[in-house]
Amino acid sequence: MPASDSLLTMAKQYAVAITDQQVSELAVALGVTARSLRRLRVGWCERSAAFSFPMRNAKGSIVGIRLRHAKSGAKFAETGGHDGLFIPTGLSGEGALVICEGPTDCCAVLDMGFDAIGRGNNNSRQSEEYITAFLTANPREEMWIVHDVDPSGSRAATQTVKAADRLASRLVPVVGAVRVFSPPAPYKDVRAWRNAGATMDDVDIAAYQAPSRGPSAELGAVLEAEISGQRQAIEWPWRFLTKGAQALIPGTVTIIAGESGATKSLWVLQALAHWFDLGIPFAIYELEESRHYHLRRALAQRVGASWLTNLNMVHERPDETRAIHFEHSAWEDRFARQIYDAPDKPVMLLSLVAWIEARLIEGARIVIVDPITAAVTSDMPWEDAQRFMQTVKPLLDRYGASLILLSHRKSGNRRMPATLDDLAGGSAWQRFSQCILWIERHDNPKTVTLRRFEDYSLTDLDQITHTVRIMKCRNGIGAGWHLGYSFDPQTLRLDERGVIVRTQRQSASC
């Protein structure tokens, strides 16, 4: 006879063998009603001198039998089965379904007027599978997990809470809202709480004091973090860009693209120095040049002396060079610790995930790879890009950080203005990023009509050397904005001039 048939036969025999008097005596001893015990198909095993409770799978088939010794209360099980669920008859299918530990807690919850199911073992992964399957087949808008209270700091207490949290995580996609709570002190389980006089209202209050584990809880946590200022978009050193793009929200990827020589790296260095001065931790992986190369340019920007990047000028001005370096050496050391320079061997794109995660663990709020197009891919670069983006995004969410990737325009017709399809490396970069900024350098300054930040209603004529196009911004209002910048060759810094309203046509040359 199959084990399941044998267990079913035994459960039926035990249910027939128990007398009304035995059920009543057990009910009095436990502080629950005989009706609730009967709903769980309580029985009597004469051989073991124990009360029996059948354990079921999600479909209601018996997979095990829990035994409770009549005198000692010791718990054990019939051989040939495994842990399952204590599913009572007569569930209404309405209101919250309460998941509790064991058959007697289940009876106590039933007595308070709830629908309830007991778990045979709160650490059993099989029980989790059964509960998930049961709720998939019998949907509920809300589910409450009530766990026992074990001695504080004990291993049992840790395991109990972890098991409840794990079950809640499993059920969030299945149930509208999941709440996890325990009886108030000094009660160790829900039956003791019920025996002390707890009512349905008391359980309701305890449940709704616990945060929902559903989607509304996730949104609520995000909103509260934004209200408190814990979650915010990091500001760029340029106000219109900050306002329009809202790029550096935790969990986001921003791509900065442009032709070679568009001043992308200098633009990013200026932003890094700004964030450094604000105390915002960052890490940048420079895949094309050494750390001292970028540190020299950052120093030139800081002191407003572009000649520091020219080795002939440095040679001609030794005293001034040494003085600047000495004055700023402490800043150089602190700033450069967050710059990781080009390795001595090619970097695989997917290996960058480990580097990014290491920087996030260290506490970096902003991580930059310059340029992502320098990373080596397989013969299917579009698949590598998708795997990279889909792997990195959960890490950014977990650590509350932002990723910036510098990229280039793919080869092809460069006479036409760039579009998102011109981004090098495949469509995954544009699809899975939240913001894409495109930097254009103008060979000759352009005369444009701008709206200034100070008074957005006024326009003014100005000359610009660079345009930053906000080509995509899921979280900002500036999609389609063209921002005008003026590059100062003496300081190597870009000054934001405003939002471009109109570009003046150049008169034809004679």
Supply the CATH classification number for the domain 3-218: 3.40.1360.10
Query: In whole numbers, what is the pLDDT of the chain averaged over residues?
Result: 92
* Mean pLDDT, residues 417-422 taken together: 86
Give the pLDDT band (50/70/90) at residue 2: very low
* Mean pLDDT, residues 117-121 taken together: 94
Question: pLDDT (tens digit, 9 = 90+) per residue, 247-260?
Answer: 999 999 999 999 98
Domain ranges of the chain: 3-218, 239-288+342-503
* Mean pLDDT, residues 268-282 taken together: 98
Residue 506 pLDDT greater than 70, yes or no: no
CB contact burial 143-182 (16+ within 10 A = b; e otherwise): bbbbbbbbeeeeeebeebbebbeebbebbbebbebbbbbb
Q: Which long-range contacts (CB under 8 A, 24 or more apart) does 150-154 make?
A: 150/188
With vertex at residue 423, the alpha carbon angle to CA 389 and CA 431, rounded to the nearest 5 degrees, is 40
Give the pLDDT band (50/70/90) at residue 128: very high
Residue 311 pLDDT greater than 60, yes or no: yes
C-alpha distance from residue 310 to each of 288, 316, 317, 342, 450 (Å): 19, 10, 11, 21, 34
d(CA 371, CA 429): 13
C-alpha distance from residue 112 to each of 54, 192, 296 (Å): 22, 13, 73
Give the pLDDT band (50/70/90) at residue 497: very high
pLDDT in the model for residue 1: 40
pLDDT in the model for residue 219: 83
Give the pLDDT band (50/70/90) at residue 504: low
User: What amino acid is encoded at 263 in this protein?
Assistant: T
Reported pTM: 0.72
* Mean pLDDT, residues 324-351 taken together: 94
pLDDT in the model for residue 510: 25
Residue 215 pLDDT greater than 60, yes or no: yes
Give the pLDDT band (50/70/90) at residue 237: very high
Write phi, then psi, for 46 (nearest 5 degrees). -60, -40
Residues with Cβ within 8 Å of 282's Cβ and at least 6 positions away in sequence, in order, are: 272, 275, 276, 338, 364, 365, 366, 367, 368
Least confident segment among 95-109, 338-352, 432-446: 338-352
Q: Report the 10 Å Cβ neighbour count for 434.
A: 23
Residues with Cβ within 8 Å of 328's Cβ and at least 6 positions away in sequence, in order, are: 299, 302, 303
Q: Which helix (H) or strand (E) holds 147?
A: none
441: tokens are 């350098």
pLDDT in the model for residue 454: 63
Residue, of 479 and 152, whose pLDDT is higher:
479
Supply the DSSP string of 212-275, one letter for each residue. P-SHHHHHHHHHHHHHHTSS-PPPPSSHHHHHHH----TT-EEEEEE-TTSSHHHHHHHHHHHH
d(CA 204, CA 199): 9
pLDDT in the model for residue 338: 96
Residue with tokens 């001039």: 497
pLDDT in the model for residue 457: 64
pLDDT in the model for residue 216: 78
d(CA 55, CA 294): 67
List the end-to-end C-alpha distance of the chain, in Å, as a whole number: 103
Question: pLDDT (tens digit, 9 = 90+) per residue, 360-394?
Answer: 999 999 999 999 999 999 989 899 999 999 999 99
**Domain made up of 239-288+342-503: CATH architecture:** 3-Layer(aba) Sandwich (3.40)
* Mean pLDDT, residues 50-60 taken together: 97
Q: Length of the chain, please?
A: 510
User: What amino acid is encoded at 340 in this protein?
Assistant: Y
pLDDT in the model for residue 413: 61
Residue with tokens 């509960």: 131
Question: pLDDT (tens digit, 9 = 90+) per residue, 471-490?
Answer: 999 999 999 999 999 999 99
Question: pLDDT (tens digit, 9 = 90+) per residue, 58-78?
Answer: 999 999 999 999 999 999 999
Residue 163 pLDDT greater than 70, yes or no: yes
